Structure 1
Amino acid sequence: MKNTYFSTAIGLYCNYLVHGMGVILMSLNMSSLEQQWQTNAAGVSIVISSLGIGRLSVLLVAGMLSDRYGRRPFIILGMTCYLIFFIGIINTHSIYIAYAFGFLAGMANSFLDAGTYPSLMEAFPRSPSTANILIKAFVSSGQFLLPMIISLLVWAELWFGWSFLLAAAVMLLNGVFLFRCRFPPHPGPHIAIRTQPAKQVTGQPEHQCSLFDLASYTLYGYISMATFYLVSQWLAQYGQFVAGMSYTLSIKLLSIYTCGSLLCVLITAPLARKMERATSLLMLYTFISVCALLMVCLHPTPYVVIVFAFVIGFSSAGGVVQIGLTLMAARFPHAKGKATGIYYSAGSIATFTIPLITAKLSEISIAHIMWFDTGIAAIGFLLALFIGYRSRIASKHQLKMAQVAE
């Protein structure tokens, strides 16, 4: 299986390298887009929020249709939507049309997710977790490379739009490559119908999970996404206007940020295999995020912001979202797909509500945005503690049931 679909996996991962760039392209080119669209930072932030709305609008439907019609069509559709976004966003002078292109980019993200995650799990059935967590590594790699590319364009005094066109070129070439690759067969609806009676024959009790657990995991999906998404969008602006860093140095903060997230992916992948460790890591990483955000708010100096960029990338963007999803799916063993949809839908809500809030805060002070993120992270830590407490109770209950059964 590995040798058969290795080239396909490489193409799928390359899509997320470009996606990592696409998420932050508008925020890193904010000043240029302000001039082109004749708006301010708040206006660009509202356009950025359209990505979250677009993703949420088709997330659940795209996943269900992917199960029915296959993975390849949705991956190609996602790539096509991204190409239209990259080219269209730099050729419009209307903030309303830009919002529509941003909405399309959000849909592209959902289409890619709907096709890519199942494809990787079907291509590598023996190590699906490893295959999926590598997606995060490629997203972080794209976010690491883009600030360097933009710095080079600024140094050479070239048009900012080349960064968008470069992403479009990579996506186009990768689309041609993937069009020729083989995809693993997916279990169609006819297979799902046949396997339904088999589940009923086993007689295993349906796992029950309280509304408190469902609410806590769903809210954590929102909080964890909001914490690192907010930083990824405003870190460069915070470094430049609050910490007093130069523009070229401030955009490199995102490269430092993604270095932290990449290191965390490498460390977390082997450690999070056991559920007990995953719960501890969830609480630890969320606590580190709170401490790092509080430190940078109290001492917004260039050196502190540089260290903060690495630490917050490690603790909030290095796999903590995936850990939360893994824990939630474990509590819903007979409805993992549904749990995934709920969890990531909450995250998608964060990606369009947070920019709307920060757009208002930016009119007061960019420093207020980081204080707002600190408050969000603090709530996330309390939720992580509650999730850890509930997980421990569930483990004790399962142990007692096993002892009774013996």
Structure 2
Amino acid sequence: MKNPYLKTSIGLYLNYFMLGMINIIIASNMGNLSRLYDVSVSQVSLLVSAIGIGKLVALFFAGRLSDKLGRKPIIIAGGFLYLLFLIGMPITTNYYLAFAFAITAGLANSFLDSGTYPALIEAFPKNASSASVFVKAFVSIGATILPFLISFLAANGIFWGWSFFILSILYAVSAIYLIFMPFPKVDNGGDDKLEEKAELTSEKQLMRGKPSMWREGLVIIVIGFTSTALFVVWQTWLPELGEGFIGLSEKTAVQLLSYFSIGALVSVLLLTVLLDKFIKPITVLVVYPIIAFVAMLALFFVKSHPIVMVCTFLLGLFTAGLFQLALTVMTDFFRKNKGTTTSYVNIAGSAAFILVPIITSSLVDSIGISMTLVFDMVIAVLSVVLALYISYRRKKIFS
């Protein structure tokens, strides 16, 4: 029987296609925004932190609202909130007002995350991992297209702000579309009979222990931070790294974002096919950061243009989808109140959005652009250690 929520998922994935563009729209317009607000490039990079502040604030209540009110109103509200950011950023000339608009984008992002991931898990329970990771595919497609859109606008003398305005139109269309679409019933794991049956048939599992939010949960939350940090560094600094550290022209350096996004897209398409059937999410959380670390090491020591392109592609390939898999692992360990438990991971991701640009901006100002690479290598090592611990605990609890 055809899944009744397929049409709904089109709107959900469209939101994240546009979010992929929003994720790099500040990095791609750093020069334009710097001139518009009359501030330094480093100050413009802090607008990414403002998005993280908005995400962090909203996630303390967005998950609970998602569980209580349902996924639909939260997602639609997030879509309309994005209009403030997308229309306001290229219109205002006041940096502090732009900072406020960026906070609004963070609020919108939190609303989308708190509603969309639980909705997809509930709509496609047999393919929850693939449905969640497929979100990243649309994010990557959007991020791949945006640099070409910006290049087209520049080549034809069209105001760069249209890269914002076009997205505002699409978000309005998506929000209106979703108003008329059905959503799955909120599943907070409240079926006591099923839980009792599961407990009776898994006595051996219970003897091994139950997952603890202060142990397994906390580690997965930290993975939410590291997996986001791995990605945010590149979304924020890749063009500047290409120009300042590797020596590429400004145009070529911006195009590195496309190579990175193509790698991310390939990764997500592979994960969509392989997850649940051939590979477990926790295995990906261990293996991907290891390979990403090797690619960063090569990028640090070899500045050849072809090698840079390959390494950038590999970094997109082996950092994409990690955050979505952290969300899936969290719902695997803690099946009740998915909106709330995933919001904890999203809070960690928001903290990364806030802290990573601030930390890397300080490192760049005091030492140099190369420190963004060093910082991300440290994050990759930490990611591997945390994922190995969760893999060990999972075997202990769910054997």
Normalised by the size of structure 1, how large is the TM-score? 0.88
Contact 1:140/1:261, CA 8 A, preserved across alignment: yes
Distance 1:45 1:166 in 2: 22
Identify the match of residue 357 of structure 2 among 355, 362, 367.
355
Distance 2:69 2:280 in 1: 37
Distance 2:23 2:362 in 1: 21
Distance 2:166 2:296 in 1: 33
User: In the TM superposition, what are the counterparts of 1:132-151 in structure 2 within 5 Å?
Assistant: 132-151=132-151
Contact 1:209/1:332, CA 8 A, preserved across alignment: yes
Percent identity (aligned): 36
Distance 1:337 1:252 in 2: 36
For residues 15-67 of structure 1, the C-alpha deviation after alignment (integer angstroms, 9 at most, x for no partner) is 11111111111111001111111111221121210111111111242122122
Distance 1:329 1:72 in 2: 20
Alpha-carbon spacing, 1:214–1:177, altered in 2? closer, same or farther (3 Å): closer
Contact 1:63/1:114, CA 8 A, preserved across alignment: yes
Q: 2:378 maps to which residue? A: 375
- 1:106 to 2:106 alignment: yes
Alpha-carbon spacing, 1:298–1:212, altered in 2? closer, same or farther (3 Å): farther
Q: 1:316 maps to which residue? A: 319
- What secondary structure is seen at the aligned counterpart in 2 of 1:366? coil
- What secondary structure is seen at the aligned counterpart in 2 of 1:242? helix
Q: 1:402 maps to which residue? A: none
Distance 2:84 2:249 in 1: 32
Contact 2:5/2:184, CA 8 A, preserved across alignment: no
Shift of residue 275, structure 1, vs aligned partner = 9.1
- 1:163 to 2:166 alignment: no
For residues 267-290 of structure 1, the C-alpha deviation after alignment (integer angstroms, 9 at most, x for no partner) is 222333169743333221110011
Contact 2:59/2:110, CA 8 A, preserved across alignment: yes
For residues 174-207 of structure 1, the C-alpha deviation after alignment (integer angstroms, 9 at most, x for no partner) is 233333x322252489x95xx4576457654765
Contact 2:122/2:186, CA 8 A, preserved across alignment: no
Give, as a single letter, the amino acid of the residue that structure 2 aligns with 1:268. Answer: L
Mean Cα deviation higher: 81-90 or 353-362:
353-362
Contact 1:47/1:95, CA 8 A, preserved across alignment: no
Contact 1:244/1:302, CA 8 A, preserved across alignment: no
Structure 1 gap ranges (5+): 399-406
Q: 2:181 maps to which residue? A: 182
Shift of residue 247, structure 1, vs aligned partner = 1.8
Alpha-carbon spacing, 1:391–1:201, altered in 2? closer, same or farther (3 Å): closer
Give, as a single letter, the amino acid of the residue that structure 2 aligns with 1:228. Answer: F
Contact 2:59/2:114, CA 8 A, preserved across alignment: yes
User: In the TM superposition, what are the counterparts of 1:59-208 in structure 2 within 5 Å?
Assistant: 59-179=59-179, 181-187=180-186, 192=190, 195-196=191-192, 199=195, 204=200, 208=210
Contact 1:68/1:188, CA 8 A, preserved across alignment: no
User: In the TM superposition, what are the counterparts of 1:142-291 in structure 2 within 5 Å?
Assistant: 142-179=142-179, 181-187=180-186, 192=190, 195-196=191-192, 199=195, 204=200, 208-209=210-211, 211-273=214-276, 277-291=280-294
Q: 1:340 maps to which residue? A: 342
Normalised by the size of structure 2, how large is the TM-score? 0.89
Contact 1:53/1:348, CA 8 A, preserved across alignment: yes
Contact 2:292/2:319, CA 8 A, preserved across alignment: yes
Q: 1:47 maps to which residue? A: 47
Q: 1:298 maps to which residue? A: 301
Q: What is the aligned length?
A: 391
Give, as a single letter, the amino acid of the residue that structure 2 aligns with 1:330. Answer: D
Give, as a single letter, the amino acid of the residue that structure 2 aligns with 1:103. Answer: I
Mean Cα deviation higher: 325-334 or 363-372:
325-334
Mean Cα deviation higher: 275-284 or 165-174:
275-284
For residues 60-119 of structure 1, the C-alpha deviation after alignment (integer angstroms, 9 at most, x for no partner) is 421221222233222221111111110101111121111110000001011112222233
Distance 2:76 2:333 in 1: 33
Mean Cα deviation higher: 57-66 or 270-279:
270-279
Distance 1:262 1:237 in 2: 22
Give, as a single letter, the amino acid of the residue that structure 2 aligns with 1:324. Answer: A
Q: 2:327 maps to which residue? A: 325
Structure 2 gap ranges (5+): none
For residues 203-249 of structure 1, the C-alpha deviation after alignment (integer angstroms, 9 at most, x for no partner) is 54765235443343222221111011111111111112211112222
Mean Cα deviation higher: 266-275 or 233-242:
266-275
Distance 2:194 2:392 in 1: 34
Shift of residue 6, structure 1, vs aligned partner = 2.6
Mean Cα deviation higher: 346-355 or 278-287:
278-287
Shift of residue 140, structure 1, vs aligned partner = 0.7
